[in-house]
Amino acid sequence: MQLSKVLSLDCTKSAVPCSSKKRALELISEIAAAHLDQNPQPLFECMLNREKLGTTGIGNGIAIPHGRISNSDHAIAILIQCQDPIDFDAIDGQPIDLLFALLVPEEQCKEHLSTLASMAEKLGNKKVCKQLRNATTDQELYNILIDEE
């Protein structure tokens, strides 16, 4: 699936002041809830429950929180560039500053595994990560990811 089908400009946020893992997940939930016209609390809880199974901090300053949502028929992605790196219990023990979240309808999980995989691959590209970290606007962040498709 193309990233532009799940990530929109209004779900791409640059230089977000974020103090903790919990706050990052709350912000992601709030952005997604506004876009999906849902209550943010269940979205937050689904990502928090996923984190309890094991961190989604994949290392190199990157986290890919994700979860299953109900009451929606389409997936949504949120990209956040943190103003300052935060502790996220990443597998390499390093703080993270780039979060790519993916929330998918419960019945579409298999279809979106490839979206998660392609995002992990894209964020594994040091050039792309450097560009994302140097981006100064939401539009610039969005363009970096979408232009790579």
Single out the catalytic residue among 35, 66, 74, 112: 66
Angle between helices 109-123 and 126-134 (to 10 degrees): 80
Region label for 16, one of left (φ > 0), alpha (ψ between -120 and 50) or beta (otherwise) = beta
Tell how far CA 128 is from the center of its chain. 15
C-alpha span between 62 and 25 (Å, rounded): 14
CA dihedral (147, 114, 105, 80) in degrees, to 10, reads -40
Instruction: Report the alpha-carbon angle 136-134-4, nearest 5.
Output: 75
Known catalytic residue at 66: yes
Q: Which positions are catalytic?
A: 66
